[in-house]
Amino acid sequence: MNKVLVIAPHPDDETLGCGGTLLKHINDGDSVNWLIMTSMQNSDEYDADQKQKQISTIDSVANAYPFKKFHQAHFQTSLLDSLPKIELIKEISSFIKTLEPNILYLPHPHDIHSDHEAVFSTAISCSKSFRYPYIKKVRVYETLSETDFSLRLNNDGFKPNLFIDISDYLERKVEIMKLFEGEIKDHPFPRSERSINALASLRGAVAGCEYAESFISLKEIL
């Protein structure tokens, strides 16, 4: 049995990026766990009803997969890159040491959102083999509306080298994504059901299957 940890800068990144793969892991009997790095709870931008709704949504999503364990850190959205890196490292390292996962899923380091960059750079430092010897695989996922909008002139774009067939899980992935009310809207909004299906179809065409999710495999120790 694998122990899987997906680290999401915000609730919904895990579902957009690798929801089908996580469902496949669970169906295969793996222990799948969720770490969310940001929260509304310490922000003055949201009222009490919005904060309670986020808590309820996260509970619903965690049960829908279902995740073995989940934890939400209470860092504010869009401020992760302004925090001392050691604060993020302590949060991630503590959860990793508790779980001892052998597979990590992380956001792409060059996503347009600064929180994604901050999470990747911090989390990857918590995957060193001499400190975390149980981590054998590190995979980077793509996030609709973040990875695709990172319009860079250099060569840092998302170049997948791992494809996972999610043909049996795409419908359930979309159902779970719909639990995040307000995060999925009608096309041409990038986080639409049509866009999610289209990306899965494109990745499936590359992989020779109906639907797939794609990743950059950064580390695999056999």
Per-residue pLDDT tens for 110-165?
888 889 999 999 999 999 999 999 999 999 999 987 766 656 556 578 899 999 99
155 Cβ contact partners less than 8 Å away, ≥ 6 residues apart? none
Q: In whole angstroms, give the CA distance from residue 65 to residue 24.
A: 10
pLDDT in tens, 50-101: 889 999 999 999 999 999 999 999 899 888 999 999 999 999 999 999 999 9
Note every long-range contact of 111-114, with CB atoms under 8 Å and residues 24 or more positions apart, other chains counting.
Answer: 111/143, 111/146, 111/147, 111/150, 112/146, 112/147, 112/149, 112/150, 112/151, 113/9, 113/78, 113/146, 114/78, 114/80, 114/81
Q: What's the pLDDT at 57?
A: 96
Whether residue 102 is predicted with pLDDT greater than 90 in this model: the reply is yes
pLDDT value of position 114 = 87
pLDDT in tens, 34-48: 999 999 887 767 788
Query: Under a CB-based contact definition with an 8 Å cutoff, are residues 203 and 213 in contact?
Result: yes
pLDDT score for 152: 59
> What pLDDT is stored for residue 3 in this prediction?
98
pLDDT score for 207: 98
Q: What is the pLDDT of residue 210?
A: 98
pLDDT for 78 equals 85
What range does the domain containing 98 cover?
A: 3-220
pLDDT bin (cut points 50, 70, 90) of residue 188 is: confident
In this structure, what token pair is assigned to residue 108?
């792409």
What pTM does this model have?
Answer: 0.94
The predicted pLDDT at position 150 comes to 57
31: domain CATH number is 3.40.50.10320
Structure-model confidence comparison of residues 188 and 198, the more confident one: 198
The total number of structural domains in the chain stands at 1
